[in-house]
Chains A and B, each alone.
Chain A
């Protein structure tokens, strides 16, 4: 048994438990601080292991470590680590959030995400997904005395359970009609002949369950409420690593076991992509809360990422992976700015609170401008390249409708991104925000640097994404 392929996950899971025990025995006031640092250390070690761990299939075909999983797992670990850093200061300010379980839960969620990405069997997939989801349900409701946070957690949990039910039903149908849970064997079963109706309906259920996790329309309704209700440090996490993990999982499933049914599911993914693009372009226009705006904006980004999947080619997969990489940092950086929106110790969350940031805090305003322009797809920022590659992939696959709608959506979307820039620089200043903590500044600066200088590393990143896509499509 080649257990070493799962070494990073095992190490991360064990350190999660160790950090938990350390937290229990740690002196009260400093426990959160301590566990956070330990968690960051664990994530760093795991990332190292991911890089050096050998590739291969293990556990009787249940699990795989390849270029694809390595690429995505590194993104996940980076996302989780930055989310923990973002929470360091924020959680201390909101008294009830500064509990040592917080980083531990994030570690478990990260383990779940890593398993999702490495899964080669529907059972492994489901286990990873649920581990991740359960941890996230809890952190969404982490501010347990806050009505909004509890509501968010509950909504997420109920709807998530519904999605899990759809997924499980789909998996069972797939198993029933193909006779296997293994990706490879399902793929082999679908290789010959016309697939039965039951199998493809099962596939639709699987797709529905998975796109819920990425909050693609029409399975997106939970995300604005959860984004808004959850503590902002949790929102930052929800918007970043889990989306990357779930989209990677979707890639793995659609290109793997269902790969031969491309002609069948292509239209579905197109529809979901278009619906997400439309929602992501239009709904944010009227928002007043910056967190809700980010929720809708991320629905739009998922729509773009799905364009690469809809292309159904290696270049499409590459494009989606690059899109995810750029998206992760833009989102974490923007949430860093949002977390910095704090006056006299209290968080403020409306867009108009950003007024005059250009004069009050030029550095922060510049960073936010970079993230907004990048999300709008302005060259030479990273967001431009993400969009460029998915559009190229869509056009190469002849998906003109999708590409045209994507371009129109990005034009409309530019409106609300630019509106934020306009508010920061041209609206009358309101009172300045509180001093931002060094940890926040670090995340914002790091994400900003990645976003601005992506153009320099675009070559190596693209090469890594191509290798990942090649590993997936084999």
Chain B
């Protein structure tokens, strides 16, 4: 019951501040939504801890009937197991912190109640997603977070770029959602149910089912796994469906932190983990997940090395880190995946909010080339950025070290992990490099900013700095505290069967026995990345320009994000525009409009003819009558 309060309190907050924001005022709407979020976080953490400490058993909270159509059945209910509980705790806590941070960040905005209504609605949708007891409710939450993401990216709807970014995110997600929806349909087709328990109990029996598609016999579970992964790719911005994430930075920074770093984009990872009992029997799908995940990790990291917008660097970093999580999924180390997901939520939210603090200090400036030398002006933010950076780079003993290390070790051991392992090692080096490139460009070196702006640089108010401190605590100590439960020896009791690892049940225990060089390699690579950044941006600031000139092709490739947007524009957008224009001009204007227009002309022409016949001459009228009679008689004699 208290679990349900945690889920529905944000909905209440959203409805109240959304519908009555006009009367409540900015302060009132903020107060209502923040208080209800605090309630949700409290009950979320309490109910989660009760479950995880074994006080109460697994189960689910029945909320109400939804759809009963023939053999199809979907109900509203909240799943209550270790995986859901962990996610609920993370989502409610991070979301609450970001709600509080937003009070300061959105100060003076024109539509504060709307912003808080969206944030709370997002939280509700995300909670529905992670507590879903069947695929349809998961899809409901999935679409809900997609919708709110669209609304929040386009929050400043008078900016054309924000609207474009919102539409882009929505469409890219739609492509993935199509795969997800097809996957759900196939699941129902195969298992006759979309309830997780029913599906998971029946997986082994359906292992030999095949689909006849395109003249080939395809392993049914692999097809389902790949379709679900396509959905996950859209939501989690994996290679191919990733361009929307960087553009999504058009939204307010707290949105980037909550939705596009900590929670929504991890929904794809969550889906994979939730479906682990099925994916364990879909080897091809897992291999695909590993290849895409590993490639994305490196691909996005390289782009991050060349971006100059502070938020975009972190956005590509998010993309890259999500690749890590998928790599963990592909080798069967789902626990490590969730571990990294939770740790990432803390340190990435911290990084984003810190970036928001920098932007706040710089009066809205996001270009790192116009920053520099801020360390002394905003020391608190500077420290926070260091903490987030160290955690992200996986430097011990911060949280990122534990979770990332688990993934890298698992990928070293996991079947088919060779390629992914190389990818994530490489990405580790790049991650450290671009993170310190960001820190050095922003906080060190000469002050490149406009004198007027620099004069106003100031530390953010406490309402923004407080959440940073809480997140920083999580980023520093989270890994060390939770390692034992998430991936260590306590993991079996901790997860309590909510994650399946039938293929390789011992992958997590084998992590402890990796060769020494694998154990130390990530840390060494991370330090190496920091050193590289130090050389390039502190010791020899002329070096980046030299390299850019020397390797012009690679530099252009990176700065243009591998020309993916341009490629999509050429392949999809422009032909689609041409087709739409053709259908508009030819199909609609010429044919569809032409029929009534031609009909009208015909009617007017015929009317003119009929009117001309009406000459007023009596003889002619009599003649027409007799002709009519003759015609009638002829018709009669011919056709009777």
Binding site for B on A (CB under 8 A): 154-155, 158-159, 162-163, 166, 197, 200-201, 204-205, 207-208, 212, 217-219, 221-222, 224-225, 264, 267-268, 271-272, 278-279, 281-287, 412, 415
CB pair A159–B611 under 8 Å, yes or no, is no
Nearest B-chain residue to A203, judged by Cβ: B636
Supplied contacts A212-B625, A218-B631, A264-B636, 18 more A-B pairs, CB within 8 Å = A158-B618, A159-B621, A200-B636, A204-B629, A221-B625, A222-B621, A264-B640, A267-B639, A268-B632, A268-B635, A282-B603, A282-B607, A283-B607, A283-B610, A285-B603, A286-B608, A287-B611, A412-B603
In whole angstroms, how far apart are the Cα atoms of A221 and B617 in the complex?
Answer: 10
Set of chain A residues within 8 Å of B620, measured between Cβ atoms: 221
Minimum Cβ distance to chain A for residue B68 (Å): 37
CB pair B629–A166 under 8 Å, yes or no, is yes
Nearest B-chain residue to A265, judged by Cβ: B636
- The 6 tightest CB contacts between A and B, nearest first, are A218-B628, A221-B621, A285-B607, A282-B607, A283-B610, A286-B607
Set of chain A residues within 8 Å of B635, measured between Cβ atoms: 267-268, 271
Minimum Cβ distance to chain B for residue A450 (Å): 31
CB pair B625–A207 under 8 Å, yes or no, is no
Minimum Cβ distance to chain B for residue A26 (Å): 38
Minimum Cβ distance to chain A for residue B595 (Å): 12
Set of chain A residues within 8 Å of B627, measured between Cβ atoms: 218
Decide if B614 is an interface residue (CB 8 Å cutoff): yes
What per-residue 1/0 map shows which CB atoms of B585-606 lie under 8 Å from chain A? Answer: 0000000000000000001101
Known: A282-B606, A283-B610, A285-B603. A268 touches B621 (CB 8 A): no
In whole angstroms, how far apart are the Cα atoms of A219 and B607 in the complex?
Answer: 17
Minimum Cβ distance to chain B for residue A431 (Å): 29
Nearest A-chain residue to B596, judged by Cβ: A411
CB pair A158–B629 under 8 Å, yes or no, is no
Can you report 30 A-B residue pairs in the complex whose CB atoms are below 8 A from each other? Answer: A155-B621, A158-B622, A159-B618, A159-B625, A200-B640, A201-B636, A204-B629, A208-B628, A217-B628, A218-B624, A218-B627, A219-B628, A221-B614, A264-B640, A267-B635, A267-B639, A267-B640, A268-B635, A271-B632, A272-B632, A278-B606, A279-B610, A282-B606, A283-B607, A283-B614, A284-B607, A285-B603, A286-B608, A286-B611, A415-B603
Set of chain B residues within 8 Å of A272, measured between Cβ atoms: 632
Nearest A-chain residue to B610, judged by Cβ: A283
Nearest B-chain residue to A264, judged by Cβ: B640
In whole angstroms, how far apart are the Cα atoms of A294 and B554 in the complex?
Answer: 80
In whole angstroms, how far apart are the Cα atoms of A217 and B607 in the complex?
Answer: 14
Set of chain B residues within 8 Å of A267, measured between Cβ atoms: 635-636, 639-640
Minimum Cβ distance to chain A for residue B427 (Å): 66
Set of chain A residues within 8 Å of B624, measured between Cβ atoms: 218, 221
Decide if B633 is an interface residue (CB 8 Å cutoff): yes
In whole angstroms, how far apart are the Cα atoms of A283 and B621 in the complex?
Answer: 16
In whole angstroms, how far apart are the Cα atoms of A267 and B638 in the complex?
Answer: 11
In whole angstroms, how far apart are the Cα atoms of A272 and B632 in the complex?
Answer: 9
In whole angstroms, how far apart are the Cα atoms of A287 and B610 in the complex?
Answer: 11
CB pair B610–A282 under 8 Å, yes or no, is yes
In whole angstroms, how far apart are the Cα atoms of A271 and B640 in the complex?
Answer: 14
Minimum Cβ distance to chain A for residue B599 (Å): 8
Set of chain B residues within 8 Å of A412, measured between Cβ atoms: 603
Decide if B515 is an interface residue (CB 8 Å cutoff): no
Set of chain B residues within 8 Å of A264, measured between Cβ atoms: 636, 640
Set of chain B residues within 8 Å of A218, measured between Cβ atoms: 624-625, 627-628, 631
Minimum Cβ distance to chain B for residue A422 (Å): 15
Set of chain A residues within 8 Å of B70, measured between Cβ atoms: none
Decide if B215 is an interface residue (CB 8 Å cutoff): no
In whole angstroms, how far apart are the Cα atoms of A279 and B633 in the complex?
Answer: 21
Set of chain A residues within 8 Å of B625, measured between Cβ atoms: 159, 162-163, 208, 212, 218-219, 221
Minimum Cβ distance to chain B for residue A432 (Å): 31
Decide if B71 is an interface residue (CB 8 Å cutoff): no
In whole angstroms, how far apart are the Cα atoms of A457 and B607 in the complex?
Answer: 37
